[in-house]
């Protein structure tokens, strides 16, 4: 008998189940390519088991997105106001269409990733491009459109595109409140299943406990809620009061994963060496943006090139390749502290400039990142049916710190001298910024 439901074993969700239409996406070239894109770039150089790929993550995101969709659209979980706002929920055919769109968008959401995922995407793509833009392009490609057309009813690629990247990365498109909520299920800052899956999956493969939380409880208590008690308040993804502690655990887990793992200084330094290698190795220092060329590039070709360049000092990118394969990475000389930033918000830049002058441009790098948004504010449905803001009912969420780094790594052969020099010069380097002149 022809099989309509397929099961795939998964270490996080036990089974991921998909139907034959979803299987067509799974078998497509853009999706199969994700088998060769590491989820965490070169992190396995520090955490050896972190060799998992975007492939299984995307399957996990689809599994969780389907679960969240079913919970938040279940008749028992809807208030009258939400039912009125979203007539789609009452119409079975429409509901089925959107459930499919959400799961398909989840499968597709990472298709635009460059080799080694996020590493230095801004530097390695032409101006105005990012992996979300590549994803949007792939969703509209002839191979994917052929799949969307075979589904009954056919899926509109623009719906898949919107839900896969969300309004922040598709500013040229108008989102209805319904589409905004559905994209929040996938890429939302607070309860997006993309984050849920990567926190759980990364923790599992890294061998750390920071990113674990009770996702079963959290998902069961997710609700579409008005964002406040005010008349006309727009809907948002929120949580029942009983799930608030699980939501806190998710956001704390995220904070610890960022501060302990994703921003581990050596992990970040390897990203810089990888970027240096790719800039030297790629024609024109950039990845191509056509769908065909994008799909031809995976971690495998890059890894082979790194190994080759390591062995041959005449090859482009030999130095960063050697630093990666021989573990001769730059070492951390300076990282920002609250005291320094209070003196000068650009303390890291000041140290970087001084280091470049003293030790030469080629021996010093700067790695700075500031958490762009926080996810601590969402509606909570209280037991008396009133809606409160999460920060009004959770002391934990009110005091969750922001993650911000400013690292200055230096050539390891200079580290000892540089440390002595910086200790002596630090107070002269980190001074308040100049008073501006006309």
Write out the two tokens for 367: 């790695």
Helix (H, G, I), strand (E, B) or coil at 39: coil
Among 6, 167, 350, 359, binds other proteins (CB under 8 A): 167
For the bound state, the minimum distance from the C-beta of residue 212 to other proteins, rounded and expressed in Å, comes to 26
* Of the candidate residues 150, 174, 337, 413, the single one contacting other proteins (CB under 8 A): 174
Instruction: Find all residues with CB under 8 Å of 180, minimum gap 6, and list them.
Output: 167
Please list every residue from 342 through 401 that binds other proteins, using CB under 8 A.
342, 345-346, 370-374, 377, 388-389, 391-392, 398
- Does position 241 interact with other proteins (CB under 8 A)? The reply is no
Total residues interacting with other proteins, rule: CB under 8 A: 41
Nearer to other proteins, 76 or 172 (CB): 172
User: Smallest distance from the beta carbon of 403 to other proteins, in angstroms?
Assistant: 8
Q: How far is the CB of 278 from other proteins (least distance, A)?
A: 26
Name beta bridge partners: 223.
238
Least separation in angstroms between CB 61 and other proteins: 22
Residue 348 token pair: 């890291």
Residue 135 or 203 having the CB closest to other proteins: 135
Select the residue interacting with other proteins from 230, 292, 385, 428 (CB under 8 A). Answer: 230
**Which residues, in sequence order, are bridge partners of residue 226?**
235
180 lies in the site for other proteins, by CB under 8 A: yes
> Is residue 48 a contact residue for other proteins (CB under 8 A)?
no
Of 171, 326, 383, 424, which lies in the binding site for other proteins, with binding defined by CB under 8 A? Answer: 171
Stretch that binds other proteins, among 63-71, 194-202, 227-235, 247-255 (CB under 8 A): 227-235
Distance in Å, CB of 401 to other proteins, minimum = 9
CA–CA gap between residue 28 and residue 295 (Å, rounded): 11
Determine the Cα–Cα distance for residues 426 and 418; give it in Å rounded to an integer.
Answer: 11
Q: What is the sign of the dihedral through the CA atoms of 53, 58, 61 and 67?
A: negative
Task: Give me the DSSP letters along 289-357.
Answer: -SHHHHHH--HHHHHHHHHHHHH-TTSTTHHHHHHHHTT---EEEEE--HHHHHH-TTHHHHHHHHHHH
Q: Between 413 and 431, name the residue whose CB sits nearer to other proteins.
A: 431
Q: Which is nearer to other proteins, 130 or 346 (CB)?
A: 346
Nearest one of 44, 106, 101, 115 to 304, comparing CA atoms: 115
Give CA angle at 359 (416, 425), nearest 5°. 65
Q: Does 229 bind other proteins (CB under 8 A)?
A: yes
Q: Which of the stretches 110-118, 232-240, 285-293, 295-303 binds other proteins when contact is defined by CB under 8 A? A: 232-240
CB 309 within 8 A of CB 316: yes
The candidate with the shortest Cα–Cα distance to 110, out of 46, 42, 40, is 40
Is 177 a binding residue for other proteins by CB under 8 A? The answer is yes
**Is the CB of 212 or the CB of 368 nearer to other proteins?**
368
CB of 436 to other proteins, least distance (A): 5
What is the DSSP-derived secondary structure letter of residue 431?
-
- Least spacing, CB of residue 227 vs other proteins, in Å: 7
In whole angstroms, the minimum distance from the beta carbon of 82 to other proteins comes to 14
Residues composing the chain: 438
| Contact predicate 98/47, CB 8 Å | no
Least Å distance between CB 129 and other proteins? 17
CA gap 373, 402 in Å, rounded:
9
Distance CA 227, CA 392 (A): 13
Alpha-carbon distance of 79 to 393, in angstroms, equals 21
Q: Which of 402, 413, 416, 420 binds other proteins (CB under 8 A)?
A: 402
- With CB under 8 A as the contact rule, the residue among 75, 128, 232, 283 that binds other proteins is 232
**Measured from the CB of residue 177, what is the shortest distance to other proteins in angstroms?**
7
237, 181, 212, 373 alpha-carbon torsion, rounded to 10°: -90
| Helix, strand, coil fractions of the chain, as percent rounded to 5 | 55, 10, 30
CA–CA gap between residue 61 and residue 163 (Å, rounded):
13
Of 314-353, which residues contact other proteins (CB under 8 A)?
338, 341-342, 345-346
- Euclidean distance between CA atoms 202 and 212, whole angstroms: 9
Binding status of residue 288 toward other proteins by CB under 8 A: no
Of the candidates 397, 378, 396, 398, the one whose C-alpha atom is nearest the C-alpha of residue 388 is 378
Is residue 436 a contact residue for other proteins (CB under 8 A)?
Answer: yes
Smallest gap from Cβ 228 to other proteins, in A, equals 7
**Candidate ranges 171-179, 208-216, 274-282, 293-301; the one touching other proteins (CB under 8 A):** 171-179
CA dihedral 214, 220, 224, 228 (to 10 degrees): -60
Note the residues at the interface with other proteins (CB under 8 A): 167-168, 171, 174-175, 177, 180, 227-232, 234-236, 338, 341-342, 345-346, 370-374, 377, 388-389, 391-392, 398, 402, 404, 432-438
């Amino acid at each position: 008998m022809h099989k309509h439901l397929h099961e795939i074993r998964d270490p996080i969700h036990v089974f991921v189940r998909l139907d034959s239409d979803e299987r067509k996406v799974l078998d497509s070239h853009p999706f199969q390519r994700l088998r060769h894109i590491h989820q965490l770039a070169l992190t396995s150089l520090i955490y050896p088991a972190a060799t998992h790929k975007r492939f299984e993550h995307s399957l996990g995101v689809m599994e969780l997105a389907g679960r969240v969709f079913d919970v938040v659209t279940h008749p028992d979980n809807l208030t009258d106001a939400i039912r009125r706002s979203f007539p789609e929920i009452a119409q079975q055919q429409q509901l089925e269409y959107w459930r499919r769109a959400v799961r398909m968008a989840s499968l597709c959401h990472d298709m635009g990733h460059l080799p080694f995922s996020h590493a230095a995407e801004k530097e390695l793509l032409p101006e105005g491009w990012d992996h979300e833009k590549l994803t949007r392009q792939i969703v509209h490609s002839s191979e994917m459109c052929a799949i969307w057309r075979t589904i009954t009813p056919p899926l509109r690629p623009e719906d898949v595109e919107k839900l896969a990247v969300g309004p922040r990365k598709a500013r040229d498109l108008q989102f209805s409140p319904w589409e905004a909520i559905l994209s929040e299920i996938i890429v939302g800052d607070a309860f997006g299943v993309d984050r849920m899956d990567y926190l759980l999956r990364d923790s599992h493969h890294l061998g750390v406990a920071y990113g674990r939380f009770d996702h079963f409880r959290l998902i069961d208590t997710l609700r579409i809620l008005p964002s406040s008690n005010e008349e006309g308040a727009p809907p948002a993804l929120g949580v029942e009061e009983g799930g608030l502690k699980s939501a806190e655990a998710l956001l704390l887990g995220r904070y610890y994963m960022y501060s302990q793992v994703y921003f581990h200084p050596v992990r970040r330094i390897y990203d810089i060496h990888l970027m240096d290698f790719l800039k030297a190795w790629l024609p024109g220092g950039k990845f191509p943006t056509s769908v065909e060329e994008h799909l031809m590039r995976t971690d495998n070709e890059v890894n082979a090139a790194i190994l080759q360049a390591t062995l041959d000092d005449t090859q482009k990118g030999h130095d960063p390749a050697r630093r990666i394969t021989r573990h001769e990475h730059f070492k951390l000389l300076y990282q920002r502290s609250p005291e320094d930033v209070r003196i000068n918000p650009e303390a890291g830049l000041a140290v970087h400039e001084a280091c470049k002058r003293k030790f030469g441009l080629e021996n010093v790098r700067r790695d700075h990142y500031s958490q762009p948004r926080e996810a601590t504010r969402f509606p909570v449905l209280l037991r008396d049916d009133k809606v409160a803001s999460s920060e009004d009912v959770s002391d934990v969420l009110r005091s969750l710190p922001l993650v911000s780094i400013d690292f200055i790594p230096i050539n390891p052969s200079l580290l000892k001298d540089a440390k002595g020099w910086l200790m002596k010069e630090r107070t002269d380097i980190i001074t308040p910024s100049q008073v501006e002149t006309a």
